Each structure stands twice: as structure tokens, then as C-alpha cells.
Amino acid sequence: MMLRFITLLACASVAATAASASLARVPVFGGCTSKVRLRPRAILFACADGNFFATGLRWTRWDGREATAVGVGRQNDCTPNCAAGHFHSYSLAVRLSAPLVCAGTDEFSRVAWRFVKAAPRAVPRWGSESFSCRWRKVRPR
């Protein structure tokens, strides 16, 4: 009976160690910002001017290889110019991928988006951006 208890305890310890190790390796996402996040509610795609971003992201997958979400894309029509333009909402699917290690932290380095239904006029139906450690101004390990 004691041997069975010790075996069960050892198995539980190994499982807990494996689970905590796998949790420690789940990538985060920083993108345009300097703050990395796990399952961010919003992502900025247009880093320079802020004229395209996603909000209300609902994550359906987040693991060591990729993360997927649906939400609302907000795109500025820049009419008559971007300063005077108006933001419009579109259903959007988002995928994070290409994990790499930046300064000891696993981060997704690629974000892709696809307009699910209607797309903004004169804008491609899908697109992507990549963020290297150098772009994020952190050194890889």
C-alpha cells in the first residue's frame, strides 16, 4: 500500500513539473508595443500611425505554435485625410505564429489578419506583419 502511494506521488510530481514547464514556454505577443501580453484583447497593426487595429479579441487557441482569435478590426478610411478620417468596424480573424525567444521570453513574431466578411474599400482582404527581436529592441538569447 505504501509503495503504491509513493508511486502515485512520484507520478503526480512528474506530471506537475511537466505541466509547469509547458506553461513557462507558452509564447506571449508584443507586436508594436513594448509590453508583451498573453491573450491581448487588442492588437495594433499599423504601428506608425495607429490607423488599423483589432479590439474585442476572443482567443480560441493559444499554444506553443500559434494562437487564433476573432474580433473587430477598426480601419481609418483616411477621407479626406487620415487626421480627418473616420474609423469603420469589420469582422476580423487573427493568427499569431512564428515563436522565437527574445531576451529569454518566448514571443510570437508574426501576426496575420483576414477580414471575415466585408473588407475596407481599397484594402487587401488579408495581411501580415513580422516583429523580430531587433525590431522590438530586445536581444535574442
Residue 44 neighbours by CB distance under 10 Å = 18
Q: How many domains does the chain have?
A: 1
What is the 8-class DSSP label of residue 140?
A: B
> Does residue 20 lie within any of the structural domains?
no
> Does residue 136 lie within any of the structural domains?
no
> Does residue 10 lie within any of the structural domains?
no
Domain that residue 91 falls in: 26-130
> Does residue 135 lie within any of the structural domains?
no
How many CA atoms lie within 13 Å of 110's alpha carbon, on the beta-carbon side?
9
Average pLDDT over residues 17-24: 45
Q: What percent of the chain has pLDDT over 70?
A: 77
Q: How many Å from the N-terminal Cα to the C-terminal Cα in the chain?
A: 48
> Does residue 14 lie within any of the structural domains?
no
> Does residue 139 lie within any of the structural domains?
no
Q: What pLDDT is recorded for position 24?
A: 54
> Does residue 72 lie within any of the structural domains?
yes
Please answer whether residues 52 and 74 qualify as being in contact, where contact means their C-beta atoms are separated by less than 8 angstroms: yes
Confidence of residue 126 (pLDDT cuts 50, 70, 90): very high
> Does residue 46 lie within any of the structural domains?
yes
Average pLDDT over residues 119-132: 87
What confidence tens digit (pLDDT) does each residue in 67-124 have?
999 999 999 999 999 999 999 999 999 999 999 998 888 999 999 999 998 888 878 8
